[in-house]
């Protein structure tokens, strides 16, 4: 999104429902830690190295009661 007034840009940022908003920059900007892809019904989840690593892990729990 491009705008001259930073207050307008910040207001739009707060109102937009997106995983990454670029203010006065284009979508070719990339950082490995930043999320990308759709949110909720608009994609298969959020991508990016830390997000993908979390999605590939399996949480397990073991409960044992011993006499």
Chunk the chain into consecutive blocks of 10 residues (it has 67) and report each block's average pLDDT, rounded to whole numbers.
88 82 76 66 67 80 82
- Domain containing 30: what range? 6-55
Tell whether 39 is covered by a domain. Answer: yes
Task: Give the CA dihedral 54, 13, 41, 27, nearest 10 degrees.
Answer: -70
Tell whether 66 is covered by a domain. Answer: no
DSSP letter at 11? Answer: H
pLDDT score recorded for residue 1 = 76
pLDDT score recorded for residue 34 = 66
The angle at the Cα of 12, spanning 10 to 13, to the nearest 5 degrees, equals 60
Taking the C-alpha atoms of residue 35 and residue 23, their distance in angstroms, rounded to an integer, is 15
pLDDT score recorded for residue 38 = 63
Tell whether 17 is covered by a domain. Answer: yes
Cβ neighbours of residue 51 under 8 Å, at least 6 residues apart? 35, 45
Number of domains in the chain: 1
């Amino acid at each position: 999104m491009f705008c001259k007034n930073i207050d307008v840009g910040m207001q739009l940022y707060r109102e937009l429902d997106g995983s990454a908003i670029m203010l006065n920059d284009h979508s070719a900007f990339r950082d490995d830690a930043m999320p990308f892809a759709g949110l909720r019904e608009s994609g298969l989840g959020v991508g990016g190295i830390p997000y993908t690593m979390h999605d590939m892990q399996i949480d397990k729990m073991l409960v044992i009661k011993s006499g």
